[in-house]
Structure 1
């Protein structure tokens, strides 16, 4: 039996493993939403460098969940990026590897990243698994929609 997952704040030295987990989660979560070209364009080194610079700047909370020395989930939260945001805090990202979903890791990451505060987020409208997770944690759609860079519809959800 492996060790129980732990959640902690990420540090700049975690940038590569943080980004690797995020990329793996994107592949697991978005295979039916993103085309193969979008996956082919992903730059692991560029994402790791972006995460490193964010971690060094400290403008957003970066958390990671580890189990047996492997990063199995990540979360990023910080000041809202929307001019019309209903909250001051935004959950920028939360991902858990498919093998660790339904284990409570996502709920722990969410709670650690938001500390129960009002928070908003954007998620793909057609990502039923993510939407169900957010609804189960008190989020509701607020009626705002937008398209991502590839034209995929996103909805904003809010937990007050």
Structure 2
């Protein structure tokens, strides 16, 4: 497996992982109409723009947040996972790193892809000068919570409500981690 920085020409593979993982992981957690409406073509366009702007040190169009970085996991020439990270985007969190998203294709679940990505993110956040970081997990996504907890990210009791593309608002739970040297 290869872990490297995302490139614009990776956008299609990233979009496929994004849509397929949402449709598998969020059944029963996100309105099925939202999951069914996911489009690889739309996500490809979004991710191509996102990566291009990130490479230029700019935030995504329409967002008022710091630029983030993206790693991709490649196996047998195919993108099987990705993760985004950077400075905290929530109020009062610019001093913290944030693991903003981590997705593996369902066919790559429990194969080490997530471990490789979360290790790369922790390293990238440490290199950027962060000694602590946080992430958000959709309430009820027990598989993801267990994964993060195995890697030392612990729920701290903080919750927020996020928009789900016009569907019912979603509850998210924050997990935090100290990024001491050698931790994943």
The answer to whether TM tops 0.5 is yes
1:111-130, aligned counterparts within 5 Å? Answer: 111-115=119-123, 117=126, 118-130=132-144
> After superposition, where does 1:72-91 map in structure 2 within 5 Å?
72-85=80-93, 88-91=96-99
Q: Is the 8 A contact 1:75 1:94 kept in 2?
A: yes
Deviation at 1:35, TM superposition (A): 2.3
> In the alignment, does 2:174 pair up with 1:159?
no
Q: Quick one: distance in 2 between partners of 1:136 and 1:157? A: 12
Question: What do you get for the CA RMSD once the two structures are aligned?
Answer: 1.7
Q: What TM-score, normalized by structure 1, do the two folds share?
A: 0.89
Pairwise CA distance, 1:151: 1.7
After TM superposition, give the deviation of residue 114 of structure 1 in Å. Answer: 2.2
- Given that residues 81 and 90 in structure 1 are in contact (C-alpha distance below 8 angstroms), is that contact kept between their aligned partners in structure 2? yes
Q: How many aligned positions are there?
A: 156
Structure 2 spans left out of the alignment, 5+ residues:
55-66, 127-131, 179-184
Q: Does 1:135 pair with 2:132?
A: no
The runs of 5 or more residues in structure 1 that have no matched partner are none
Structure-2 residue corresponding to 1:60: 68
Q: Does 1:11 align with 2:12?
A: no
Query: 2:64 matched to which residue of 1?
Result: none
Residues in 1 aligned to 2:97 and 2:135: alpha-carbon distance in whole angstroms: 9
Mapped partners of 1:144, 1:100: distance in 2: 30
Q: How far apart in 2 are the matches of 1:144 and 1:16?
A: 34
Equivalent residues of 1:86, 1:158 under 8 A apart = no
Query: Deviation string for 1:76-105 (max 9, x for gaps)?
Result: 111211113385211111011222222221
* Paired residues of 1:87 and 1:120 also in contact (CA < 8 A): no
Which deviates further from its counterpart, 81-90 or 44-53? 81-90
3-state SS in 2 of match to 1:134: helix
Task: Give TM-score, length-normalised by structure 2.
Answer: 0.78
Cα distance change on mapping 1:151 and 1:15 into 2, 3 Å: same
